[in-house]
Amino acid sequence: MLRLLGFFDDFGYSSELAAGPLRAQVQASGEPDEAEIVAYLDTGHQLTHFMEAGVDVVTGEVHRHTSGCSSLVTDGVWVWRADFAHYLEAYHVPLPEPFVARVRSLRHQMPDLVGAEFAPIFDEIVLGFGWADVEPWDTVSVLHPRSRAVPTRAEFTARVRQERPAGPWGKAPRKPRRGREHGF
């Protein structure tokens, strides 16, 4: 059975896939182990790679998952957008209890993705999203989780602040007047 996580109305999904509006699910705090769950989401296996860039649908600002935000990620049972970790971290959206129980039972460690076990789930994903021309999943391979390639929220914020130039914005340095260099 296809188990979706964090497909909110705000992203334009159909009503059968969407989990309601994001703004209606914002909470003041999340699970006690939310940081570990965010790390788990960040290390998921990439199913699709979309090259678009998106912003936070609540604030309109860039975030650490802006690039490729709607790419699909999985743990072999659950499927989520690559930017779901951002929304969990920033807005503490509620998580389904079966998902939280699975992550805790795995001690927050992403499992290997065994092709033979995952192929039927992949077929269901392809049908659910209406992708007719996608190649079938390789049933022989075993994918091991990669190390975390996404910066933490704190690392992303520090890098963005560091890249901004200091001083007045929009003012170019003054050019020397023509003729002064020749003594006119």
Examine residue 12 and state whether it is found in any structural domain, yes or no.
Answer: yes
Question: Do 51 and 82 contact (CB within 8 A), yes or no?
Answer: no
* Token output for 121: 């789930």
For 53, the 3-state DSSP assignment is strand
Residue 166 in any domain: the answer is no
- Residue range(s) defining the domain that contains residue 10: 3-149
Asked, for residue 167, whether it belongs to a domain, the answer is no
Q: Name which residue leads in pLDDT, 136 or 163.
A: 136
Residue 184 within a domain: no
**Range among 63-67, 80-84, 128-132 rated most confident:** 80-84
Where residue 158 falls (left for φ over 0; alpha for ψ -120 to 50; beta otherwise) is alpha
Number of Cβ within 10 Å of residue 112's Cβ equals: 13
Query: pLDDT by residue (tens digit) across 76-99?
Result: 899 998 888 888 988 999 999 999
What is the spatial distance between Cα 121 and Cα 136, in angstroms, rounded to a whole number?
A: 11
Higher pLDDT, 84 or 152: 84
Is residue 179 in some structural domain?
A: no
pTM of the full structure: 0.70
- Sorting pLDDT into bands at 50, 70 and 90, what band is 177? low
Tokens of 167: 């001083």
**What is the count of structural domains for the chain?**
1
